[in-house]
Amino acid sequence: MRTSTIFAIVASLGVAIADDVYLGFNSGATTDSKNAKKQADFEKEFETAQKLRDSPGLFNAIRLYTNIQAETTDTPIEAFPAAVKTNTKLLLGLWCSGTTSIKNELSALSKGIDQYGTNFTNLVIGISVGSEDMYRVSESGIRNNAGLGQAAEAIANFVKEVRDNIKDTPLSKIPVGHVDTWTAWVNESNKAVVDEVDFVGANLFPYYEDDKGNDFSNATAVFGDAFNKTKNAVGDKPVWITETGWPITGPDFGKAKASLDNAKGYWETIGCTLFGRTNTFWYTLHDSNPDNKAKFAITKDLSTTPQFNLTCPANAGAPPSINTSPSNSENGNNGKSAASTTSSSLMSWLVAGLSFVCAVAAWAA
Protein backbone atom coordinates (compact mmCIF):
# COMPACT_ATOMS: atom_id res chain seq x y z
CA MET A 1 0.00 0.00 0.00
CA ARG A 2 1.27 3.48 -0.86
CA THR A 3 2.33 5.77 2.00
CA SER A 4 -0.19 8.39 0.94
CA THR A 5 -3.00 5.84 1.27
CA ILE A 6 -1.89 4.92 4.78
CA PHE A 7 -1.79 8.60 5.76
CA ALA A 8 -5.31 8.99 4.36
CA ILE A 9 -6.54 6.13 6.54
CA VAL A 10 -4.78 7.64 9.56
CA ALA A 11 -6.47 10.97 8.85
CA SER A 12 -9.86 9.27 8.58
CA LEU A 13 -9.29 7.84 12.06
CA GLY A 14 -8.65 11.34 13.39
CA VAL A 15 -5.08 10.46 14.34
CA ALA A 16 -2.72 13.45 14.41
CA ILE A 17 0.76 12.96 12.95
CA ALA A 18 2.96 14.77 15.48
CA ASP A 19 6.06 16.85 14.83
CA ASP A 20 9.44 15.49 15.95
CA VAL A 21 9.98 15.14 19.68
CA TYR A 22 13.65 15.11 20.63
CA LEU A 23 15.33 12.72 23.02
CA GLY A 24 18.85 13.33 24.24
CA PHE A 25 21.46 14.04 26.90
CA ASN A 26 23.44 17.01 28.18
CA SER A 27 27.11 17.26 27.23
CA GLY A 28 29.74 19.49 28.80
CA ALA A 29 32.81 20.89 27.05
CA THR A 30 35.29 19.05 29.29
CA THR A 31 35.89 15.52 30.55
CA ASP A 32 35.48 14.43 34.18
CA SER A 33 39.16 15.30 34.65
CA LYS A 34 38.54 18.86 33.35
CA ASN A 35 40.40 18.28 30.08
CA ALA A 36 38.95 19.74 26.90
CA LYS A 37 36.87 17.22 24.97
CA LYS A 38 38.14 16.58 21.46
CA GLN A 39 36.12 15.50 18.45
CA ALA A 40 36.85 11.83 19.18
CA ASP A 41 35.53 12.24 22.73
CA PHE A 42 32.29 13.77 21.49
CA GLU A 43 31.91 11.11 18.80
CA LYS A 44 32.25 8.30 21.32
CA GLU A 45 29.71 9.99 23.58
CA PHE A 46 27.19 10.57 20.78
CA GLU A 47 27.58 7.04 19.42
CA THR A 48 27.08 5.54 22.88
CA ALA A 49 23.87 7.56 23.32
CA GLN A 50 22.48 6.16 20.09
CA LYS A 51 23.44 2.55 20.86
CA LEU A 52 22.34 2.20 24.48
CA ARG A 53 21.19 -1.31 25.30
CA ASP A 54 17.43 -1.63 25.98
CA SER A 55 16.90 2.06 25.22
CA PRO A 56 13.20 3.02 25.03
CA GLY A 57 13.95 5.31 22.08
CA LEU A 58 16.72 6.75 19.96
CA PHE A 59 18.77 9.24 21.99
CA ASN A 60 20.13 11.16 19.01
CA ALA A 61 20.06 14.71 20.38
CA ILE A 62 22.62 16.52 22.55
CA ARG A 63 22.36 19.73 24.53
CA LEU A 64 25.56 21.81 24.61
CA TYR A 65 26.42 24.59 27.07
CA THR A 66 28.74 26.58 24.82
CA ASN A 67 29.72 27.01 21.16
CA ILE A 68 33.38 27.52 22.11
CA GLN A 69 35.99 24.77 22.19
CA ALA A 70 37.44 24.55 25.71
CA GLU A 71 40.79 26.29 26.17
CA THR A 72 40.23 28.56 23.15
CA THR A 73 38.78 32.05 22.69
CA ASP A 74 36.29 31.55 19.87
CA THR A 75 37.16 28.32 18.06
CA PRO A 76 34.00 26.28 17.28
CA ILE A 77 33.49 23.44 19.74
CA GLU A 78 34.52 20.08 18.33
CA ALA A 79 31.08 18.73 19.12
CA PHE A 80 30.01 20.31 15.81
CA PRO A 81 31.96 17.97 13.49
CA ALA A 82 31.24 15.05 15.85
CA ALA A 83 27.52 15.71 15.44
CA VAL A 84 27.90 15.85 11.66
CA LYS A 85 29.75 12.53 11.62
CA THR A 86 27.24 10.77 13.91
CA ASN A 87 24.09 12.51 12.62
CA THR A 88 23.30 13.89 16.07
CA LYS A 89 20.77 16.70 16.60
CA LEU A 90 22.02 19.70 18.58
CA LEU A 91 20.47 22.07 21.08
CA LEU A 92 23.19 24.71 20.98
CA GLY A 93 24.16 26.67 24.08
CA LEU A 94 25.78 30.04 24.71
CA TRP A 95 27.48 30.70 28.05
CA CYS A 96 26.13 34.02 29.33
CA SER A 97 26.98 34.29 33.03
CA GLY A 98 29.51 36.73 34.41
CA THR A 99 29.95 38.62 31.14
CA THR A 100 28.70 41.71 29.38
CA SER A 101 29.36 40.27 25.91
CA ILE A 102 28.56 37.09 23.99
CA LYS A 103 30.75 38.19 21.08
CA ASN A 104 33.05 35.15 21.33
CA GLU A 105 30.12 32.72 21.51
CA LEU A 106 28.59 34.27 18.38
CA SER A 107 31.96 34.28 16.64
CA ALA A 108 32.40 30.55 17.32
CA LEU A 109 28.91 29.86 16.01
CA SER A 110 29.50 31.92 12.87
CA LYS A 111 32.77 30.12 12.21
CA GLY A 112 31.02 26.78 12.72
CA ILE A 113 28.37 27.69 10.14
CA ASP A 114 31.05 28.73 7.63
CA GLN A 115 33.20 25.66 8.28
CA TYR A 116 30.57 22.90 8.34
CA GLY A 117 27.73 24.45 6.33
CA THR A 118 24.31 22.88 6.10
CA ASN A 119 25.69 19.51 7.23
CA PHE A 120 25.90 21.24 10.61
CA THR A 121 23.01 23.72 10.52
CA ASN A 122 20.51 21.03 9.45
CA LEU A 123 21.19 19.27 12.75
CA VAL A 124 20.44 22.29 14.96
CA ILE A 125 17.03 22.07 16.65
CA GLY A 126 17.31 25.08 18.95
CA ILE A 127 19.61 27.63 20.56
CA SER A 128 19.68 28.17 24.32
CA VAL A 129 20.96 31.60 25.30
CA GLY A 130 22.36 30.89 28.75
CA SER A 131 21.95 28.20 31.39
CA GLU A 132 20.60 28.84 34.92
CA ASP A 133 21.91 32.41 34.83
CA MET A 134 18.81 33.90 36.49
CA TYR A 135 18.86 31.25 39.21
CA ARG A 136 22.44 32.15 40.13
CA VAL A 137 21.52 35.77 40.84
CA SER A 138 18.38 34.81 42.79
CA GLU A 139 18.24 34.70 46.58
CA SER A 140 18.49 30.91 46.63
CA GLY A 141 21.33 30.91 44.09
CA ILE A 142 23.32 33.42 46.12
CA ARG A 143 22.56 31.49 49.32
CA ASN A 144 23.83 28.28 47.67
CA ASN A 145 26.98 29.96 46.31
CA ALA A 146 25.92 29.04 42.78
CA GLY A 147 28.41 31.45 41.19
CA LEU A 148 28.16 34.32 38.75
CA GLY A 149 24.84 34.70 36.97
CA GLN A 150 23.00 37.19 34.82
CA ALA A 151 19.97 39.45 35.22
CA ALA A 152 16.82 38.86 33.18
CA GLU A 153 17.20 42.09 31.20
CA ALA A 154 20.68 41.06 30.06
CA ILE A 155 19.50 37.59 29.02
CA ALA A 156 16.58 39.09 27.05
CA ASN A 157 19.02 41.40 25.26
CA PHE A 158 21.35 38.50 24.52
CA VAL A 159 18.40 36.60 22.98
CA LYS A 160 17.73 39.57 20.69
CA GLU A 161 21.41 39.74 19.81
CA VAL A 162 21.47 36.06 18.85
CA ARG A 163 18.41 36.47 16.64
CA ASP A 164 19.97 39.47 14.92
CA ASN A 165 23.20 37.52 14.41
CA ILE A 166 21.57 34.47 12.78
CA LYS A 167 18.89 36.24 10.71
CA ASP A 168 20.84 35.92 7.45
CA THR A 169 22.07 32.37 8.09
CA PRO A 170 20.52 28.90 7.66
CA LEU A 171 19.65 29.07 11.38
CA SER A 172 17.30 32.05 10.94
CA LYS A 173 14.16 29.99 11.63
CA ILE A 174 15.60 27.96 14.52
CA PRO A 175 13.83 28.59 17.88
CA VAL A 176 15.85 30.64 20.36
CA GLY A 177 15.24 30.09 24.06
CA HIS A 178 16.81 30.07 27.50
CA VAL A 179 17.42 27.32 30.06
CA ASP A 180 16.91 27.88 33.78
CA THR A 181 15.57 26.31 36.95
CA TRP A 182 11.81 26.18 37.38
CA THR A 183 12.10 28.63 40.28
CA ALA A 184 13.56 31.22 37.89
CA TRP A 185 10.71 30.75 35.41
CA VAL A 186 7.99 31.27 38.03
CA ASN A 187 9.71 34.42 39.33
CA GLU A 188 7.73 37.33 37.88
CA SER A 189 10.82 39.55 37.85
CA ASN A 190 12.13 37.40 34.97
CA LYS A 191 9.11 38.04 32.73
CA ALA A 192 11.28 39.90 30.19
CA VAL A 193 12.95 36.61 29.27
CA VAL A 194 9.66 34.69 29.13
CA ASP A 195 8.28 37.29 26.73
CA GLU A 196 11.36 37.21 24.50
CA VAL A 197 12.08 33.49 24.04
CA ASP A 198 10.56 31.00 21.59
CA PHE A 199 10.80 28.14 24.09
CA VAL A 200 11.49 27.63 27.78
CA GLY A 201 14.12 25.15 28.91
CA ALA A 202 13.33 23.86 32.42
CA ASN A 203 15.80 22.08 34.70
CA LEU A 204 13.83 19.98 37.20
CA PHE A 205 15.51 17.93 39.94
CA PRO A 206 13.31 16.63 42.79
CA TYR A 207 16.54 15.33 44.36
CA TYR A 208 17.55 18.92 45.16
CA GLU A 209 14.13 20.10 46.41
CA ASP A 210 14.94 19.66 50.09
CA ASP A 211 12.21 22.08 51.15
CA LYS A 212 9.47 19.99 49.50
CA GLY A 213 9.76 16.65 51.23
CA ASN A 214 12.11 15.20 48.61
CA ASP A 215 12.14 11.59 49.71
CA PHE A 216 12.21 9.47 46.54
CA SER A 217 8.66 8.28 47.20
CA ASN A 218 7.53 11.88 46.63
CA ALA A 219 9.61 12.50 43.48
CA THR A 220 6.70 12.25 41.04
CA ALA A 221 4.64 14.76 42.99
CA VAL A 222 7.54 17.18 43.40
CA PHE A 223 8.39 16.96 39.70
CA GLY A 224 4.76 17.41 38.67
CA ASP A 225 4.32 20.43 40.90
CA ALA A 226 7.43 22.16 39.52
CA PHE A 227 6.62 21.23 35.92
CA ASN A 228 3.08 22.54 36.11
CA LYS A 229 4.01 25.75 37.91
CA THR A 230 6.51 26.38 35.12
CA LYS A 231 3.88 25.80 32.43
CA ASN A 232 1.42 28.08 34.22
CA ALA A 233 4.05 30.81 34.53
CA VAL A 234 5.17 30.83 30.87
CA GLY A 235 1.75 30.63 29.23
CA ASP A 236 1.77 29.34 25.69
CA LYS A 237 5.56 29.07 25.39
CA PRO A 238 6.68 25.45 24.75
CA VAL A 239 8.45 23.89 27.75
CA TRP A 240 11.42 21.64 27.02
CA ILE A 241 12.84 19.48 29.82
CA THR A 242 16.51 20.37 29.49
CA GLU A 243 17.85 18.68 32.62
CA THR A 244 16.40 16.05 34.91
CA GLY A 245 17.63 12.87 36.53
CA TRP A 246 18.44 11.22 39.86
CA PRO A 247 21.98 10.47 41.09
CA ILE A 248 23.26 6.92 41.42
CA THR A 249 25.88 7.85 44.01
CA GLY A 250 26.46 10.90 46.16
CA PRO A 251 25.48 12.56 49.43
CA ASP A 252 22.00 12.69 50.91
CA PHE A 253 20.22 15.93 50.05
CA GLY A 254 17.44 16.62 52.51
CA LYS A 255 15.43 13.39 52.49
CA ALA A 256 16.70 12.40 49.03
CA LYS A 257 19.13 9.50 48.78
CA ALA A 258 21.33 8.73 45.80
CA SER A 259 21.17 5.07 44.78
CA LEU A 260 21.03 2.82 41.73
CA ASP A 261 17.48 1.74 42.60
CA ASN A 262 16.28 5.33 42.92
CA ALA A 263 17.96 6.36 39.65
CA LYS A 264 16.27 3.44 37.88
CA GLY A 265 12.95 4.23 39.55
CA TYR A 266 13.18 7.89 38.51
CA TRP A 267 13.90 6.87 34.91
CA GLU A 268 10.82 4.66 34.90
CA THR A 269 8.37 6.95 36.72
CA ILE A 270 9.49 10.32 35.31
CA GLY A 271 11.64 9.70 32.24
CA CYS A 272 9.35 7.15 30.66
CA THR A 273 6.39 9.53 30.92
CA LEU A 274 8.37 12.22 29.05
CA PHE A 275 10.20 10.26 26.35
CA GLY A 276 8.49 10.67 22.98
CA ARG A 277 6.02 13.23 24.35
CA THR A 278 8.17 16.18 25.46
CA ASN A 279 11.58 17.33 24.22
CA THR A 280 13.80 15.84 26.92
CA PHE A 281 17.54 16.07 27.61
CA TRP A 282 18.45 13.66 30.41
CA TYR A 283 21.09 14.46 32.99
CA THR A 284 23.21 12.63 32.16
CA LEU A 285 24.88 10.02 29.97
CA HIS A 286 28.37 10.56 31.40
CA ASP A 287 29.47 12.73 34.33
CA SER A 288 31.81 15.56 33.38
CA ASN A 289 31.81 17.78 36.47
CA PRO A 290 34.27 16.48 39.07
CA ASP A 291 33.15 19.18 41.52
CA ASN A 292 29.67 17.69 41.75
CA LYS A 293 29.71 14.94 44.36
CA ALA A 294 26.38 13.60 43.11
CA LYS A 295 26.97 11.34 40.11
CA PHE A 296 24.11 11.00 37.63
CA ALA A 297 25.70 9.08 34.72
CA ILE A 298 23.63 6.20 33.44
CA THR A 299 26.72 4.56 31.93
CA LYS A 300 30.26 4.01 33.17
CA ASP A 301 33.13 4.79 30.82
CA LEU A 302 30.65 5.31 27.96
CA SER A 303 29.74 1.65 27.80
CA THR A 304 26.60 0.98 25.75
CA THR A 305 25.48 -1.27 28.61
CA PRO A 306 23.96 1.16 31.14
CA GLN A 307 24.13 0.87 34.92
CA PHE A 308 20.46 -0.13 35.03
CA ASN A 309 17.91 -1.50 32.59
CA LEU A 310 16.46 1.34 30.51
CA THR A 311 13.35 -0.50 29.37
CA CYS A 312 10.20 1.49 30.11
CA PRO A 313 7.23 -0.15 31.85
CA ALA A 314 4.39 -1.09 29.52
CA ASN A 315 1.99 1.03 31.60
CA ALA A 316 4.07 4.24 31.54
CA GLY A 317 1.59 7.12 31.48
CA ALA A 318 1.68 10.62 30.08
CA PRO A 319 3.74 13.38 31.73
CA PRO A 320 2.20 15.20 34.72
CA SER A 321 -0.80 17.25 33.58
CA ILE A 322 -1.37 20.91 34.24
CA ASN A 323 -3.51 20.02 37.27
CA THR A 324 -1.00 17.74 38.98
CA SER A 325 0.12 18.72 42.48
CA PRO A 326 1.70 16.95 45.45
CA SER A 327 -1.77 16.52 46.94
CA ASN A 328 -2.78 14.29 44.01
CA SER A 329 -0.14 11.77 45.04
CA GLU A 330 -1.20 11.93 48.64
CA ASN A 331 -4.77 11.20 47.58
CA GLY A 332 -3.70 7.97 45.92
CA ASN A 333 -3.67 9.25 42.32
CA ASN A 334 0.09 8.78 41.91
CA GLY A 335 0.40 12.36 40.70
CA LYS A 336 -2.06 11.92 37.82
CA SER A 337 -5.19 13.92 37.16
CA ALA A 338 -8.16 13.08 34.97
CA ALA A 339 -6.46 14.88 32.09
CA SER A 340 -3.41 12.64 32.48
CA THR A 341 -5.60 9.55 32.44
CA THR A 342 -7.32 10.85 29.32
CA SER A 343 -3.93 11.31 27.65
CA SER A 344 -3.00 7.72 28.49
CA SER A 345 -6.30 6.46 27.08
CA LEU A 346 -5.80 8.52 23.94
CA MET A 347 -2.34 7.02 23.52
CA SER A 348 -3.79 3.52 23.82
CA TRP A 349 -6.45 4.41 21.26
CA LEU A 350 -3.77 5.79 18.97
CA VAL A 351 -1.76 2.56 19.18
CA ALA A 352 -4.88 0.54 18.43
CA GLY A 353 -5.66 2.77 15.47
CA LEU A 354 -2.17 2.44 14.03
CA SER A 355 -2.32 -1.31 14.50
CA PHE A 356 -5.50 -1.29 12.46
CA VAL A 357 -3.76 0.73 9.74
CA CYS A 358 -0.90 -1.75 9.61
CA ALA A 359 -3.37 -4.62 9.32
CA VAL A 360 -5.16 -2.92 6.46
CA ALA A 361 -1.85 -2.21 4.73
CA ALA A 362 -0.80 -5.86 5.04
CA TRP A 363 -4.16 -7.01 3.68
CA ALA A 364 -4.00 -4.67 0.70
CA ALA A 365 -0.37 -5.40 -0.17
Question: Annotated catalytic sites, by residue?
Answer: 132, 243
Coil, strand, or helix at residue 284? coil
- Which run of H or E residues covers position 160? helix 152-166
Looking at this protein, which amino acid is placed at residue 281?
A: F
DSSP 17: -
Q: Which burial class, exposed, middle or buried, applies to 255 when counting CB atoms under 10 A from its CB (0-12, 13-18, 19+)?
A: middle
Backbone angles phi, psi at 21, to 5 degrees: -120, 125
Looking at this protein, which amino acid is placed at residue 193?
A: V
Task: Give just the sign of the alpha carbon dihedral 24, 29, 33, 39.
Answer: positive
For residues 122 and 119, give the distance between their C-alpha atoms in angstroms, rounded to a whole number.
6
The C-alpha angle with vertex 208 and arms to 205 and 209, in degrees rounded to 5, equals: 90
Q: Which long-range contacts (CB under 8 A, 24 or more apart) does 166-169 make?
A: 166/109, 166/127, 169/110, 169/113, 169/121
DSSP string for 295-353: B--SSSTT-SS-SS--PPPTT--PPPPTT--HHHHHTTSTT--HHHHHHHHHHHHHHHH
Cα end-to-end span (Å), the chain: 5
Taken as a whole, the chain contains a residue count of: 365
